[in-house]
Amino acid sequence: MIAIIDYGMGNIHSVKKALELYGAKTKVSSNPQEISACQKIVLPGVGAFGDAMRELEKQGLVSLIREEVKNKKPFLGICLGMQLLFEKSEEAKNCKGLGIIKGDVKRFSDLNLKVPHMGWNQIKQRTEDRRLKTERCSLLKGMADNAFVYFCHSYYPEPENKNVVAATTEYGIDFASVVWQDNLYGVQFHPEKSQGVGLKMLENFVNLC
């Protein structure tokens, strides 16, 4: 069973439908006990960083998420759900994130760029890191390099430890578009809107042991 965390700010229906294409049983919930009883967790997200963290706090989900990740449960953050995994964001400077991945979330600052970054763009898989050469990120299994996925965001994550970056995307700068830290995965794009490539990623997540 895969829990899809419902805190009022996610593209829940599309994510649920995409996961169920590959035989996954899903439970959309904001109940900590129900979420904890599931074998995997997805944190989707559309909206503002500060509002999202306040909703997670209000529903008693912050400590639950930290504990489940610490306990090695497979966890996937999507778009804003990925950004919330970091320590803080320029979007809400007085609001702390989940702090599971060290680093910040920053706004695109190049005045020549159209913000938000919206539409199709490529993800380039990292191979220069020794770990990524010998141990491929399970979320990217079976995927060609430079595959196109669908983005819609004004902010991007900047991890302190570059070894957690599994793939990058170029939009004025090279930013982390896929992060991977043990059982924890995050994607800045929307796999549920990325057609075959994104659906392959969700299939890989469903099939994680």
Catalytic positions: 79, 190, 192
Crossing angle (nearest 10°) for helices 49-58 and 62-70: 90
Beta carbons of 92 and 49 less than 8 angstroms apart: yes
Four-CA torsion 18, 22, 28, 32, nearest 10 degrees: -130
Q: Phi and psi for 98 in degrees, rounded to 5? A: -70, -30
Quickly count helices (H) and strands (E) in the chain: 7, 13
